[in-house]
């Protein structure tokens, strides 16, 4: 269906809370139960929809020259097809054999790097991580179970080392405080004083990744 010239995809599920979102291509997605009047919701949310679409378009224009390059470790790389996946740091070029191959290549590198960094930061913070995994979470950068297992989003590979460290510190802090209380944030601040700035930067990175050609292909 369409709303005011905007394409709308409607997913019918037995949900209690209706979900309306503006996708990276500036189309709309609504998740609602059978029988729910989506048109009425769109009319009520028209101002919100227009505002968010304008923000998305402005954001795309800001990063237009970078969206067709691969964002990795906080830097942008040119991408070329090759028989083997590899990274040429001197020429800032990533070679890949296929989208699936590139995803596996990045995931394996990320896991190896995180295992080392998590171990170092955990020792510094006086905690212990039992195991870690690399996943493709839809809404979060990472998570920590009560059993001490850390799950990291593959999107973290796109981030600079400082932002990656903040995420690790955030999750390791949950091993001491499994909540977001004042005590929790005090622990985070002790090991990452600039955590507030990091949180703001992560929101922008999430949008960049969501519109980046290569990241979109890998995450589909």
Tens of pLDDT, residues 52-74: 888 877 776 766 767 788 999 99
What is the spatial distance between Cα 10 and Cα 20, in angstroms, rounded to a whole number? 9
According to DSSP, residue 145 is labeled: -
What is the spatial distance between Cα 151 and Cα 169, in angstroms, rounded to a whole number? 13
What is the spatial distance between Cα 200 and Cα 203, in angstroms, rounded to a whole number? 5
Nearest to 172 by CA among 139, 195, 203, 155: 195
Q: What is the pLDDT of residue 207?
A: 85
**Residue 85 included in any domain:** no
Q: What is the pLDDT of residue 91?
A: 96
CATH code, domain carrying 179 = 3.30.2010.10
Which of 37, 62, 87 lies at the terminal end of a domain, its last residue?
A: 62
**Residue 80 included in any domain:** no
Q: Same domain for 118 and 48?
A: no
β-pairing, 19-22 vs 28-32, is antiparallel
Residue 126 has phi, psi (to 5 degrees) of 75, 30
β-pairing, 70-72 vs 75-81, is antiparallel
Query: At 98, is the secondary structure helix, strand, or coil?
Result: coil
Residue that wins the pLDDT comparison between 16 and 64: 16
Q: Same domain for 214 and 121?
A: yes
> Using one digit for the tens of pLDDT, what is the confidence trace for 169-199?
999 999 999 999 999 999 999 999 999 999 9
Mean pLDDT of all residues belonging to the chain: 92
**Residue 106 included in any domain:** yes
Give bridge partners of residue 9 from the DSSP assignment.
Answer: 29
According to DSSP, residue 100 is labeled: H
Q: What is the pLDDT of residue 169?
A: 98
Q: Same domain for 46 and 133?
A: no
Q: What is the pLDDT of residue 24?
A: 73
Asked whether residue 93 carries a pLDDT value surpassing 90, the answer given is yes
**Residue 172 included in any domain:** yes
> Using one digit for the tens of pLDDT, what is the confidence trace for 102-117?
999 999 999 999 999 9
Asked whether residue 87 carries a pLDDT value surpassing 80, the answer given is yes
The boundaries of the domain holding residue 49 are: 2-62
Q: Cα 61 vs. chain centroid, distance in angstroms?
A: 20
Contact 54, 60 (CB under 8 A): no
The mean per-residue pLDDT over the stretch 74-89 comes to 94
What is the spatial distance between Cα 161 and Cα 78, in angstroms, rounded to a whole number? 20
**Residue 201 included in any domain:** yes
Q: What is the pLDDT of residue 110?
A: 97
Within 10 angstroms of residue 138's Cβ, the number of other Cβ atoms is 7
According to DSSP, residue 157 is labeled: G
The mean per-residue pLDDT over the stretch 17-37 comes to 90
């Amino acid at each position: 269906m369409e709303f005011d010239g905007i394409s709308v995809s409607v997913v019918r599920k037995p949900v209690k809370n209706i979900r309306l979102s503006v996708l990276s291509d500036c189309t709309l997605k609504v998740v609602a139960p059978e029988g729910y009047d989506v048109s009425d919701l769109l009319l009520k949310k028209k101002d919100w929809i227009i505002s968010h679409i304008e923000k998305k378009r402005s954001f795309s224009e800001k990063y237009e020259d970078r969206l067709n390059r691969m964002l990795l470790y906080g830097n942008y790389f040119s991408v070329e097809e090759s028989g083997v996946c590899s990274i040429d740091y001197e020429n800032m070029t990533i070679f890949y054999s296929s989208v699936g191959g590139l995803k596996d290549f990045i995931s394996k590198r990320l896991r190896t790097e995180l295992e080392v960094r998590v171990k170092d930061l955990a020792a510094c913070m006086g905690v212990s991580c039992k195991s870690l995994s690399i996943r493709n979470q839809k809404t979060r950068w990472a998570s920590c179970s009560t059993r001490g297992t850390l799950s990291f989003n593959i999107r973290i590979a796109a981030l600079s080392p400082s932002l990656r460290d903040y995420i690790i510190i955030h999750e390791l802090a949950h091993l001491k405080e499994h909540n977001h209380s004042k005590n929790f944030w005090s622990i985070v601040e002790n090991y990452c004083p600039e955590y507030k700035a990091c949180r703001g930067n992560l929101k922008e990175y999430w949008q960049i990744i969501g519109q980046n050609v290569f990241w979109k292909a890998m995450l589909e």
